[in-house]
Amino acid sequence: MTQQASPNRFLRTLMTVFLSLTAAVTLLGGIGTTCVAFKAENFGPKMATLVPVKPIFQILVFVSIAAAIYGIYSIVMLGKGRQKSYNMTLAFLLVGLISSGIQYYYSATLRGSTAPNNVRLYLTALTLVLFLLTRLPSVREKFNYESSNQGGGPAGLRSAGGAALVLCGLTTLTTPLWVQSSHVIAGVNTANVLLIPLLVAGALQITAGIALLRNHKVEGILRHSAAAECVPASSSTS
């Protein structure tokens, strides 16, 4: 590995983590909005102010979930260096930002609070800016997304994807904690309504992430072993 490849891999891994977190928060945002989108009148007077825009929120639920699923797929394609993967990921970020922005506007206007959707909006905006910056001429070669040889190729993808999945899993598992301040109604944390799906999804993400990291490590050991075995063989033939 060259000296330049190591920092390039780190930057690609960091970008993958930001993208994966954004996809996870987009998915959680879509699922979490379901309660208000369909039964806003059942969650206190503040949420009841969103009743007139329930149809809009229902559309945002489906758009957000679809965008998140497409985002996860595009991030995987991006890591594999597939053609048009950059544009696919950019489309996911733009749709996620617009849908989150619309929800932010109505929440701020009607109920006077934007949490926790504000976290999603800010994270998506930050990730979009960082993602666009990777296209600048001065840094573009470090983020050659459509070349599987850049930054470790498929092996680099598994390492970065594994770390990102573990991070997303932890985010999913702890959702009832970090959204508690905006989801407590009459002393009850309404985020716990989705506690079982959140625990299952978080556990699956962490398990998949650990499996990817473990496979990456095992493949590295096997690769080094194979290389070591080839050295004596080449020496004997000479």
Q: Is the pLDDT score of 212 beyond 70?
A: yes
CB 111 within 8 A of CB 47: yes
Select, from the ranges 62-66, 71-75, 190-194, the one with the highest average predicted confidence (pLDDT): 62-66
Terminal CA-to-CA distance of the chain, rounded, Å? 26
Please tell me the distance from the alpha carbon of residue 181 to that of residue 165, in angstroms, as a whole number: 26
Report pLDDT digits (tens) over 148-190.
Answer: 544 445 555 566 667 777 877 888 888 877 777 666 666 667 7
| CA 56 centroid distance within chain | 24
Express as a percent the part of the chain with pLDDT over 70: 74
Enter the pTM of the model.
0.76
Task: Give the Cα separation of 83 and 147 in Å (integer).
Answer: 9
Rounded Cα–Cα distance for residues 103 and 113 (Å): 11
What CA dihedral angle connects 191, 51, 118 and 209, to 10 degrees?
Answer: 40
- Reduced to 3 states (helix: H, G, I; strand: E, B; else coil), residue 113 is coil
Q: Round to whole Å and give the CA distance between 8 and 83.
A: 20
Looking at residue 162, what is its pLDDT? Answer: 74
Q: Which two tokens stand for residue 165?
A: 């999945």
The domain limits of the chain are 5-237
In the predicted model, what is the mean pLDDT of the chain?
79
User: How high is the pLDDT of residue 105?
Assistant: 97
105-117 tens-digit pLDDT: 999 999 898 888 9
